[in-house]
Structure 1
Amino acid sequence: MADHYVQGSVAFTCTAQEAALIEEAWQHAADLDNELAPGDPSAEFLTAFPPVELGNPFNGLLDIFDDPRFPRFCAEIQITRADPCRVSISGDSDFQPDAIAALIQRCCRQTLGEAPIGFTWSYGSSRPRPEDTGGGWCAIFADRIEFGETAEGLSKALQPAADPWSDHLVHAASDWKTEVANDETRLGYLDWIAARQSSVGAAP
């Protein structure tokens, strides 16, 4: 048997209002996870995490977790008291990238409107094997969240580079070269293909 870990961290600056909203959501999640009665939600919280069912003002927050029964970020949070604030979130055993990314996106609309926020995480094991290591990345935008695995990037990097001079199925590079030699075109190969397709209405 082996113990498996997900370790990650993210640090960013945001407005004091956004930091306060993150802190409120974090505390509500902790209270719910510990089966304690959460404090009254603020209007800003209800706007960021609109309830999905009547009668429970916190189910909009619970909805960002993979399992709403366990609203855990599995990380520690630190917030500086300034404006802008610096928020640091890190975990070394079961870091939850999805929930943390959703928390940041819901709470930091103004900041994300100016620039995206990104972070990475890694997989580990008490008995390392190649299949137990790796990691991933997350890019948070105001309108979307993108995830990727480091293994995917490595696989792509190891693939042979595509030959930019490989022939089009219909418009051969040799035909283009002939037209260039005869001064019949001054277009590059790809632009020449596009022009020929346009002139005959051909499909790419």
Structure 2
Amino acid sequence: MSNSYTKAAFGIAVTSAEADLLHRVVGAIEMIDDAEIGLDVLEAHYRDLGADFAALFPRTPESPFDGLLDLFRDENYPSLDFDIDFAGPDADGVVVVFLSGEQFGVETAAKLIQRCAPSALPFGFEWASDCDRLRAGEFGGGYVAITADTIEYGHTSLMLDRAIARASDEGADGFVLATRNGEPGLSFWNNEDGFGSLARATVFSETEAAKFDLPIADDQPEWLAMPAPLRL
């Protein structure tokens, strides 16, 4: 028998107001995770949590805390799968919040940070998966990159697969459609605005590129394979 873990530990600097909100959110999660607390008690507690809490986690007619359930992968088990500790505020009112755990709720932590700590964004953290026995396939990890509008998840297994694929497929990272545009040089197609900068280019798979109808341009557009990401 073996035990598998998803581990993470990191600190995030937030404002005093955000730290206070996080305190209230953690307390509310502990309440809704307690099956012995009745609806009348939950209603009374919700009214005391403030307008900022209600705006981020709106209630439903059925329950005052249904808005919190979106934080969890399984709404039937609304429990934080990590510890959260708060340092005292510094002279500028900044509070470092430390999150850690051995069965770390990666998605829950990411959603919590996105909603409750906008001053810290963009922000990211890494996590590791391991096992107390040396079993194949039990070790790896990943990262989460959080902005105000998006949460991006990456996993080492996918990164490894892509790195190996590059050895035999120059298009492993996709293709962009390029045309020569006089003095600016190359312009790259994006599906929203047409030709523009590489930063906004639409990246196509080999199958998508084969089916794509080439747009009309002064210079015949050509497909270019994306290079491998820069490595540190």
Q: TM-score band, normalised by the shorter chain?
A: 0.7 to 0.9
Identity of aligned residues (%): 30
Structure 2: stretches of 5+ with no match in the other structure: 172-181, 188-194, 196-215, 224-232
Q: CA deviation at 1:46?
A: 1.0
Greater shift in the superposed pair: 28-37 or 116-125: 28-37
| Higher-strand-fraction structure | 2
CA contact (8 A) 2:12 2:120 kept: no
Is 1:106 paired with 2:123? no
Q: CA deviation at 1:8?
A: 0.9
Q: CA deviation at 1:128?
A: 2.4
**What is aligned with 1:160?**
167
Displaced runs of 4+ in structure 1, greater than 3 A?
161-164, 185-188, 200-204
| Higher-helix-fraction structure | 1
Is 1:198 paired with 2:217? yes
Q: Give the greater-gyration-radius structure (CA).
A: 1
TM-score, with normalisation over the residues of structure 1? 0.74
Is 1:144 paired with 2:144? no
Counterpart CA distance in 2 for 1:187 and 1:85 is 47
SS in 2 for 1:81: coil
Q: CA deviation at 1:47?
A: 1.0
**What is aligned with 1:42?**
50
**What is aligned with 1:10?**
10
**What is aligned with 1:180?**
none
Is 1:88 paired with 2:67? no
Number of aligned residues: 174
Superposition pairs for residues 127-142 of structure 1, below 5 Å? 127-142=133-148
Root-mean-square deviation (Å): 2.8
Residue-by-residue CA offset, 1:153-190 (whole Å, 9 max, x unaligned): 223333328769xxxxxxxxxxxxxxxxxxxx9997x6
SS in 1 for 2:218: helix
Change (3 A) 1:84 1:187: closer
TM-score, with normalisation over the residues of structure 2? 0.66
Is 1:122 paired with 2:128? yes
Residue-by-residue CA offset, 1:103-130 (whole Å, 9 max, x unaligned): 1111112332xxx111111111222212
